[in-house]
Amino acid sequence: METLPGTLGAGDCEALGSGWLIQPVNAWSSLAYAVVGVFLLASLLSTRNRERTLTTVFGLLLVGTGIGSFLYHGPQSPIAHFAHDLSFLAALWFLALLNLTAASHLSRKALPAVFVAVIVVLGAALLLWPTSTNIHTGLSIVALGVSDILRRRAGGFAHAWHNAAAAAILASLLFNVLGRTGASTCDPDELFQFHGLWHTFSALALGAYFLAVLPSGSEDPS
């Protein structure tokens, strides 16, 4: 799945350069995901034993998302597109499966196997059909939305974090639209880029949503 340097991120407003970082602003702002991931990993010291594994996995997924997005907007190595897509989709599906596990009262022991299977299928699909990113992203968002509805019916949300995630999601979507190439708000040569705010607020949304749906220590860990 090779992509020529300088061909990624063309729809994300910032001008495509020729240096080590093709889109410097979008590349550095991508690390917002990694920052949120590190914050979650740092919180492990005050996390209950039953929550530590989930927090560790999701924290690492966000770090991976940050690295994947940095490669996509920055060096644009041959694996950049694949790493960018799969890491973000993996984070969405982890949240969706976490919700579905809690809503259906299925054994949490099944979560790792199901998650790995989903990622293998997604990875194979992205390798065989590199242009299918938007389709997989749409399906992943729908899956997360459905799982959110089911989880709310089952209860167990941390509502303050859920409200914060909702606000951050709405803000990130707005910034994503404002930061598209061709938008009236897009200036490719400006240091300020709305797509950078998309990275920041979507990272905050993912972190807040995870904290909203993280099973409490009082829940059955089986």
- pLDDT of 83-139, one tens digit each? 999 999 999 999 999 999 888 866 677 888 899 999 999 999 999 998 888 899 999
Per-position DSSP letters for 74-125, written without gaps between them = TT--TTHHHHHHHHHHHHHHHHHHHHHHHHHT--GGGHHHHHHHHHHHHHHH
Of residues 212 and 51, more confidently modeled: 212
**What span, in angstroms and rounded, lies between the C-alpha atoms of 118 and 6?**
30
- pLDDT of 112-124, one tens digit each? 889 999 999 999 9
pLDDT for position 148: 93
CB 156 within 8 A of CB 102: yes
pLDDT for position 103: 83
Q: What is the torsion angle, in degrees rounded to the nearest 10, for the CA atoms of residue 157, residue 158, residue 164 and residue 167?
A: 20
**What span, in angstroms and rounded, lies between the C-alpha atoms of 155 and 153?**
6
**What span, in angstroms and rounded, lies between the C-alpha atoms of 69 and 199?**
9
Please state the rounded mean pLDDT for residues 146-165. Answer: 87
List strand residue ranges (DSSP E) for the chain, in order.
none
- pLDDT of 162-201, one tens digit each? 999 999 999 999 999 999 999 999 999 999 999 999 999 9
> Is residue 11 helix, strand or coil?
coil
CB 93 within 8 A of CB 118: yes
Percent with pLDDT over 70 in the chain: 91
